[in-house]
Structure 1
Amino acid sequence: MECFIRGTDFDLWQADALQWFNIRPVVNIKVPFPVKWLRPHHNYCLNVDGAFKGTTGICGGGGCFRDSSGQFIYGFAFYYGAGSSLLAESREMHDGLRLALERRLPVSILYSDSAQLVGAIHSGRCPHWSVFPWWKGICKMVDQLKPIIQHSFREGNQVADCLANHACAQADNTAMASRGRRGAQTRDDEQRREERGEQQAPAPQGPTVLPPPPPVDYGVFMQGLVQAMQTQAQTQAALQAQLQAQAQAPAPVPQEHGHGGPSIMERFKRMAPPSFKAESQPLLAES
């Protein structure tokens, strides 16, 4: 009698042992495929990665630029403080594209191991409201540089992953560059500027890209909005109650003028009608 077992992961040696008992497990063998870094055909390649430490809640990002021959051009490791994995992935991609514009590095391809962020850029939809400022900046810089954005596994993005972990460990911002001009190898017949004692001219700066505004705490924002709405409702209710009280209040009684006695008009109204019995009889009035 043969038995079949499904829905369980077995190793090959476990499957061989089960066959001695006429048990045939269904083994799903995953075909491995090699993952490696692919160099660009022209211009430069940018690899970025973000790191998030769930125990401490801190995050950081790192990235590196390399040319078509695989030479290291420029690298960075930035510390972002408290955040999330998506926030780290968004900020390090934004910083990498910003450095490419500032140093005028034509990036032809960009690799990131965040499938969610890469899919959001291709679809044109923000993955989450907390990363909207950086996602908007990424879309603008992608329109300027026009790189090919592809997803890469972590095994093919090890340099950027190490830089991101270095930023979290050091809790500081670090930038590094190669000795040659933009990382290109120095010619054999060209003496180094350091040997000749000349000062190296500053690299041309590209357009200044302002950093995005800090993210807004959604909970604090909604709490303040609810309090403002409640205050406005209470103010309107108090004003309406005051108007209703004024409408229902009786008309004020006119106060008597003079020195405590009735007014002239009231005295005139209280006067008795004249008597026609005798013309010589004087008029009587109430005192």
Structure 2
Amino acid sequence: MTRRRFLAAAAASVGLGSARAQEPFLARPVTLWLPWPAGGGTDLSMRVLAEAASHHLGTRVIVENRPGAGGTLAMPVLQQAAPDGHTIAQMPQTVFRAPHTQKLLWDPIRDTTPIIQLSGTTFGMVVATDSPWRSVEEVFAAVKARPGQVSIASNGVGTTPHVVLEELMLQRGLSYIHVPYKGAAEQALAVAAGQVMAAVGSTAFGPFVDNGKLRLLATFGEQRSRRWPQVPTLKELGYGIAASSPYGLAGPRGLSPQLVTTLHDGFRAAMLEPAFAAELARSDQELAYLGPADYAQACREAFAYEKRVVERLGLARQGG
């Protein structure tokens, strides 16, 4: 190779390397894993968010569903994914509880990089409209009168509504039949059809309440729901419990600060769009933003809090 050709080839190589260095890191679509069924309230709101984020990130955000196991099945995906910004997942409260109740190969603190907190889920207890029960106390009275015979559905073993129900039953020394489902839509249909007698879960079953197929007996938050201001909270009814389930997005362990910033900024802009807020409202949710550092701290606090809860309820796993 002549000196001139060598220099030309070297210059071309430098130019190619520079062009590659300037390429956006999100040259491929981003996959957002959801641990809930397609068509549910969280799925619908996350798809609206993903579409908006696609415009702000300059690449497509694809939603994939892995329902089951109380909302924890996206965690193994994060654990195995490369920290290149192309794989992220929703982090529900159950991922901070599950490691304390069963032996798992993943850890929600060790194996993730928190990106942004988005919102929080509102929970409640429902019965069919033709049910004779018109209050939470009447449900407990029926459980007391028929030990181990009253069936109550939840949105999964170890989910926040299930843990709340277990605590309420434990306080009263009551036994019931727990029927876990993968999502609120399945629960709502089961209660409305008489397959189960009551249900606790997210108020994504709101349309069934609004169309008169289900009766909402109580919500689990600190304050009454804006959507159903006439419905009392468990706390004001004297049960001493208020529960919500904040959630956000996280990437794999080792995600660089630059990638975190890019993803955070894209989803932060998306969550502020009116379409996302409107979709959240349909599921009785509100924005609950936290940035990467604050969200990481909230995750650590949630992990410690859930450990105390499962130990108090006697749900902690045994052994190492």
State the TM-score, normalizing by the size of structure 2: 0.23
Q: Which structure has more helix as a fraction of its residues?
A: 2
**Relative contact order (alpha carbons < 8 A, sep ≥ 6): 1 or 2 greater?**
2
State the TM-score, normalizing by the size of structure 1: 0.24
Task: Please identify the structure whose Cα radius of gyration is greater.
Answer: 1
